[in-house]
Amino acid sequence: MSAGVGVDLENLWIRFGDFVAVRDANVTINGGDFFSFLGPSGCGKTTILRAVSGFLEPSDGRVLIGGSNMKGIGPNKRPTALIFQNLALFPLMKVWENITFSMEIKGASARERRKRADELLDMIALPGQGGKLPSELSGGQRQRVAIARALCAEPDVLLLDEPLSALDLKLRQHMRTELREIQQRVGITFIYITHDQGEALTMSDNIAVMKAGVIDQIGDGKTIYNDPATAFAASFVGENNVFRGRIKRVMGDEALIATNRSGELVARISSANQGRMKEGDEAMMFIRPEAFALAPQGASGDHFVTARVNHEEFEGNAFNIFMEGDGGKELKVSIPNLGQSFDDHTGQNITLEYETKNAVIVPAGELAAE
C-alpha cells in the first residue's frame, strides 16, 4: 500500500475543434508511483499533463486526483506542480531563494525558508550549494534545483514534461538515476512525459504507451518490453524485428505463423491477445535482436530463420548482424561480445535460432515510425 495520492483519468477526451488530441483515455495511476506517458511527438502526452494540472479542461470525461473530481478546479488549487523542459530558474536569485520562492509568496520568514531550502538541497544531493546563483551550476544541477523548487510547494503529484530533453546524453542518463532516487525519497506520485523509451523503462513503475491520442498499452517496463499488446508498442519500445504473416494454427498460448519470407515459425501470442487470435488472422511476430543466436548452417524448423547478411558491425559489447528482412526492413541480430572469435558473414546466408518464449505474436497493425 502506498501513502501517495493517486490520479485517475476516466473516459478522458480532449478535442481542439475537430481534432481529437486524446481519445477516451482510461488510466489509473497509483499513489507514490513513478508513472510515464511514452509516445512519439504529437501523440497527446503534454495535452494529458495539461488536463491533470488544470491548464486545460477535458472535452469529456474526468480527471480525479486523490479520488476527487478536478472539474472546475484551477491549476493553483490543485495539489500538483509542473516542471517543464525549459525550467527558467530566476537568474538573479540565489539557489535557496529560487527553491523557496513559493514560501516567499506565502510570507514565510527568511529563516524558515533557509531551513527548508537546506532540507531540499540535501534531498537533491546538493548540500551547501544554496548560496550560488543558477549560472554557477551545471545543467543537471540546475535541473535538480528546479525539482526542489517544485517540491517546496509540497505537491501530492509532480508533473514532469520532458524535463531532461535539453541536457546532453551523458547527463540525461545520469539524471534518470537521480530523478528516480529523488522520487523514491519523497514518495509522492511522479507523472513523467517522454518520447524516450530508455527514460521510461529505467525510471517508471508503470508506463502508458501512447499513439495518436490513444493509450495503446499500460504496464510495467518488463511487460511493455517483453509482452507488447500491439504492433505499435512492440516496434516503438526498444529495437525489434518484425515478421509479417498469417496465423496458421493456434496451439494454446502459442501459434504457428506462416510468414511472408521466413517460412512457418512458432511464437507466443502476447498476453493481451490470448484467446483473441485465430487461424487466418493477419499477424506480426516480433523478435528482439538479442533474442537470436547463431545456429548451424541450414538448420531448419519452426524456430529457425535463414537470411542473407547485408553487413555487420562491431559495437563493443555486441556484434551486430544486419540481414535481409521483411517488408524492406533489415533484420538486426545482436550477438554479445564475450571475447569469442567472430567471422565476417557479409554476403552469406546464415541461420539463426530463437526460443519460442522470446518471440511474440500480435495482430497485424501500424508500426512506429523509425
Ligand X SMILES: Nc1ncnc2c1ncn2[C@@H]1O[C@H](COP(=O)(O)OP(=O)(O)OP(=O)(O)O)[C@@H](O)[C@H]1O
Give the binding site for ligand X (CB under 6 A). Answer: 16, 19, 21, 39, 41-47, 195
Please, which residue, 41 or 341, has the CB nearer to ligand X?
A: 41
User: 110-123 and 169-186 helices cross at what angle (nearest 10)?
Assistant: 110
In whole angstroms, what is the distance from residue 146 CA to residue 68 CA? 28
- The distance of closest approach from Cβ of residue 37 to ligand X in the complex, given in angstroms and rounded to an integer, is 8
At closest approach, how far in Å is the CB of 87 from ligand X?
16
Give the nearer residue to ligand X in terms of CB position, either 42 or 198: 42
Q: In angstroms, give the least distance from the CB of 40 to ligand X.
A: 7
Helices 139-152 and 110-123: crossing angle in degrees, nearest 10, is 130
* Contacts with 330 (C-beta within 8 Å, 6 or more apart), sequence order: 310, 322, 323, 324
Collapse the DSSP code of 73 into the 3-class scheme (helix H, G, I; strand E, B; otherwise coil) and give the result.
coil
Q: Residue holding cell 508500426?
A: 367
Q: How far is the CB of 163 from ligand X (least distance, A)?
A: 12
State which residue, 61 or 263, has the beta carbon closest to ligand X.
61
Nearest to ligand X of 29, 117 (CB atom): 29
DSSP state of 369: P
Q: Toward ligand X, which CB reaches closer, 21 or 52?
A: 21
CB of 22 to ligand X, least distance (A): 8
- Judged by CB, which is closer to ligand X: 16, or 314? 16
Residues 329 and 262 sit within 8 Å (Cβ to Cβ)? no
* Residue whose CB is less far from ligand X, 176 or 195: 195
C-alpha R_g of the chain: 24
Alpha helices in 227-349 (DSSP H): 231-236
- SS3 percent helix, strand, coil of the chain, rounded to 5, is 25, 35, 40
For the bound state, the minimum distance from the C-beta of residue 204 to ligand X, rounded and expressed in Å, comes to: 16
Shortest Cβ 46–ligand X spacing (Å): 3
Which of helix, strand or coil describes residue 177? helix
